[in-house]
Amino acid sequence: MYLSVSNELHANLDASLANVAMSLDDIIKENTIEAIKQKTEKRPKVSQDKFALFREDEKRRFVGPLRPGRELKEPDEDKGMVWSAIYQHILLEPKNYFLQIADTNNHIVWRSENLKSDSLPVIMYYSLKMQVTSDSVLVKGSSSYSIPPSIITLHEDVDSAFSYVDLTGEELRLFVKRTNNAVISIGYTSSVIENQLRQLFIALLVAFPLILVVSIAGGFFLAKISLRPVDEITQTATDITAKHLSKRLPEHQINDEIGRLTRTLNAMIERLENSFIQIRQFTSDASHELKTPLTILRGELEIALHSQKTTEEYEGVLVSALEEVQRLSNVVETLLELSRADTGQVRLSIEEGDLSKLLNDIVEDSIILAESKDIKIQSDIEQNLIIDFDSARIHQAVLNVVDNAIKYTPNGGKISIELKKGKILSEIIVTDNGIGMEEEELEHIFDRFYRIDKARSSDVQGFGLGLSIVHWIVEAHRGKIEIKSKLNEGTVFTILLPNNHGLFV
């Protein structure tokens, strides 16, 4: 800041000095033109001296950079423009300006009163072939001035120069300009600028510690206010554990970074809470599903051990025990498969194959499964439908859906199996006229161990894991599964598979 202000002040001073010199040269040029006109038109000669304005008889009108005092006669309108032309360029204190005008022969014809008996340097040109020392040419002046050797030598293609000179122990910033009409020298007391800069430097030294202290205090205060929501989030987050996931971080209405972060974290905590709820529900359901066959198996074995039975009766107990063991094995195998699928350990064997042929095989299997309930299986299979899919997994998924439809369709019902090919997706549609489902049941149909209203499905055997397997298989194929159902009217399962496995849907 100090250097910037210093450079700006010096630049403005130099511009002011140069502009004053140009204004003085314009005044001299106008007087020269007026003198030529008078001579050409043979008007009464008033003065043909281009410096007449600055001679002794004009001193009462113009006494340098200071405005004339009240005791002086006011100049006429034309001559009053002289001072205005100069004064508009004086940016700093006028009394610190020193002006001097010499003719092209370096004869000093005028200087400001504050110079008194001193003089300012003028310009002499030199050729590259000729050396001129500072005391080889003297400044010529009128008899009333005492002029010391003071000449600035410049190359002939340069007409002005800035410099520093010493005037009676005081340093001046000097601008000297040589024109076709005169040599104009203008100086300004540089100590004024230095004093201003010194005062600025002292002010900065005093103000900087205060500003620093205020800035630190203000920054600390603002930081404390801005970080207060973070402290609240931290305190609340420490209270959120696996047993207290119902708590949420305090949200603020302001849509800033902290507000968006808080909402994102709350959404994440909500997902975690739902996951923990599902895990607890899954654990409870799995325990229940495993407990039932184990209880039956234990009871039958205890009865067999504590009573005398015939060979046929023992065989019956063993057959029943084997059925329960198989049921336990199926539950465990299904849970292990879902667990591996969740962790990405199950790999699909995607190959190009005939989906129509697979659906025809499933229709034949479905007819056999539905015979015991006298359910009619209808099919509408589009032939020669070739897509990319895992044959074994899709067979498992579709057969699970059909088996589920058979379980929840009453005796003598109907089930239809359709296959349609679209531009991007192929549709497998399984429709039944069974007991149907309510709207709220559809939201949980793919949850593990979930079953519809037991009062309507008390005679249905199963673990509630089949549709979870179906959902995973379809998603692994980057497909979709949709369900539409009406209570007591039936259900429609639609499996959408991409014709090309590389397409995301």
Q: Is there a contact between 136 and 158 (Cβ–Cβ < 8 Å)?
A: no
Indicate if the pLDDT at residue 375 is higher than 90.
Answer: yes
Q: Which residue has the higher pLDDT, 71 or 308?
A: 308
Average pLDDT, the chain: 76
For 290-312, what is the mean pLDDT?
A: 79
Indicate if the pLDDT at residue 36 is higher than 70.
Answer: no
- pLDDT tens column, 93-111: 667 788 888 888 888 888 7
User: What is the domain partition of the chain in residue ranges?
Assistant: 2-193, 197-228, 257-342, 351-498
Q: Is there a contact between 474 and 495 (Cβ–Cβ < 8 Å)?
A: yes
Count of CB atoms situated within 10 Å of the CB of 397: 27
Count of CB atoms situated within 10 Å of the CB of 389: 26
pLDDT above 70 covers what percent of the chain?
73
For 86-93, what is the mean pLDDT?
A: 56
Token duo for residue 1: 């800041």
pLDDT-based confidence at residue 190 (cuts at 50, 70, 90): confident
For 445-452, what is the mean pLDDT?
A: 75
- pLDDT tens column, 324-342: 788 788 777 777 777 777 7
Question: Quick one: DSSP state of residue 177?
Answer: E
Count of CB atoms situated within 10 Å of the CB of 189: 20
Indicate if the pLDDT at residue 129 is higher than 60.
Answer: no
- CA separation (Å) from 228 to 15, 233, 238, 261, 285? 54, 9, 16, 14, 44
Indicate if the pLDDT at residue 452 is higher than 60.
Answer: yes
Token duo for residue 2: 């100090």
Pick the CATH number of 257-342 from 1.10.287.130, 2.40.30.110, 3.30.450.20, 3.40.630.30: 1.10.287.130
Q: What is the pLDDT of residue 66?
A: 37
Q: Is there a contact between 493 and 364 (Cβ–Cβ < 8 Å)?
A: no
- CA separation (Å) from 171 to 6, 164, 174? 17, 7, 9
Token duo for residue 252: 């603020």
For 415-430, what is the mean pLDDT?
A: 93
Question: Quick one: DSSP state of residue 433?
Answer: -
- CA separation (Å) from 370 to 373, 380, 395, 412? 6, 17, 17, 9
pLDDT-based confidence at residue 406 (cuts at 50, 70, 90): very high
Q: What is the pLDDT of residue 135?
A: 34
Q: What is the pLDDT of residue 28?
A: 80
Output the CA torsion 407→412→413→414 (10° steps): 110
Listed residue (360, 401, 404, 402) closest to 384, CA to CA:
360
> Domain 351-498 is of which CATH architecture?
2-Layer Sandwich (3.30)
Indicate if the pLDDT at residue 87 is higher than 50.
Answer: yes
- Global pTM reads 0.46
**CB-based burial of residue 302 (10 Å sphere; 0-12 exposed, 13-18 middle, 19+ buried)?**
exposed
- CA separation (Å) from 147 to 102, 118, 150, 185, 247? 12, 7, 8, 14, 95
Fold match flag (257-342 vs 351-498): no
- CA separation (Å) from 450 to 130, 284, 402, 466? 111, 12, 18, 10
Residue type present at position 135: D
